[in-house]
Amino acid sequence: MKIVILLSLVVGLTNAFPFYLPDWSENAISFLSNSGDHERNRLIKLGPEEYKIVSENDKLKLKRNNVNFIDVTKQIPIEVAVEQGLTLKPSPPSLWRSLQLIGSKQITTLAKEIPVYNYPKGTKYNGQVNAIFEQISVEFLKEKLEKFTSFYTRYYKSSYGLESADWLYGQIEEIIAPVKNKVSIKKIKHDGWDQYSIIVSIPGQVTDKVIVGAHQDSINLLLPNLMRAPGADDDGSGTVTILESLRLLIPLYQTGDFKPYNTLEFHWYSAEEGGLLGSIDVFSQYAAANRVVVGMLQQDMTGYTQGSIDAGIEPHFGLITDYTSVHLNNFLKLIISTYNSIPYHESNCGYSCSDHASALENGYPSSFLIESEMKYTSKYIHSVMDTVDRLDFDHIKEHVKLTIAYAYELSLATDLH
């Protein structure tokens, strides 16, 4: 009974004040959520040359403190990391001292060298792309996002995470049904949890890939296994952004009006909130198979503008410039200036702040576009308050326009090498 009362108190306080987590409640949450996750059996990457062995609960604490990381346990076994001197053997917890050091360490190198491609210096398909914009449906975006956020949570370890993935897969199947003999849809299953990643591939004349991505999972950082996480902005908004883009391109592919030269893929990743687990799986597999990716665009949170408005700043895209590809970013600047009615503002988000980092880690050029400069992004994410009513669908529409233009222009580029 005491545990129930304490849990109710913690949940009630967090619902009322979702951004405030006092020390005593953090300790209570760690106790209440303990399900054998204290064993230090995960290898995370905190920077290009910064590894640490942690527990699942340690990972959750890092996320609560806005520390980004990639969980590379599957890619690098812990014993191998220790043998190669990447990290020390597990020792008594010293995580909070590590948190103090992470921000002070200067990290300048990347895991792999990123190839440079000859991205277009001008746009070629303005008439075709602008015609597609006229078909963008805000009603479609709202309808799908309202359904996607109706799942209690999309936490990747929960049954709802699997159910929401199944729903999303079904929506994609309906969209590509007219071309199902040519366009493939694939479930990428992962070891250790049931929610799968989804990849749609529109074949081009060559197998070089142009990728647009978003993550489908959500999380409530207070009690991920117990509390609701609608995840409307993070990253339901990105999920429906690329879903609508796919919906509009498929009819053109069906009629032959859109014939990509480079293979165009749409990715919906599982378990981003667990340390980019789904996307690092996908891009590690791509690298092992020597697949070529000429550009990957991640969009994580595409709908919140109130932060910018409250600060007296024009609605804009946040173009992330740290740990992203400079050359691909320059191509995105061209796309935005040509096709969008809002500008971009450059911003930083730190190492591994979304799934583009998994592509970069495996030697693929990637970019990350978010709803605004980081300081103006939604403060409601990772809580029960990340709901549809807080989003600006005209802003999401601008992200759809960007996605379509990027996908169209780059998938038709023939002289990238």
- How far is 208 from 150, CA to CA, in rounded Å? 37
Closest CA to 417 of 248, 224, 207, 258: 207
> Which mean pLDDT values do the consecutive 10-residue runs of the chain (417 residues) have?
44 47 45 59 91 93 95 90 76 35 34 88 98 98 98 98 98 98 98 97 98 98 96 98 98 98 98 98 97 98 98 98 97 98 97 96 97 98 98 98 98 96
Q: Please report the pLDDT score of residue 89 as a whole number.
A: 59
3-class state of residue 94 by DSSP: coil
Q: Please report the pLDDT score of residue 121 as a whole number.
A: 97
Q: Please report the pLDDT score of residue 96 as a whole number.
A: 29
Superfamily of domain 126-411: Zn peptidases (3.40.630.10)
Local structure of residue 216 (DSSP, 8 states)? -
| Burial (Cβ within 10 Å: 0-12, 13-18, ≥19) of residue 99 | middle
Closest CA to 407 of 273, 249, 287, 284: 249
Q: Please report the pLDDT score of residue 286 as a whole number.
A: 98
Q: Please report the pLDDT score of residue 111 as a whole number.
A: 58
- How far is 182 from 348, CA to CA, in rounded Å? 39
Inter-residue contact 262 to 410 (CB < 8 Å): yes
Q: Please report the pLDDT score of residue 159 as a whole number.
A: 98
Domain ranges in the chain are 1-32, 37-105, 126-411
- How far is 84 from 82, CA to CA, in rounded Å? 5
Find the distance separating the first CA and the last CA of the chain, reported in whole Å: 66
Extract the runs of DSSP E, i.e. beta strands, from 123-274: 184-188, 197-202, 206-215, 262-269
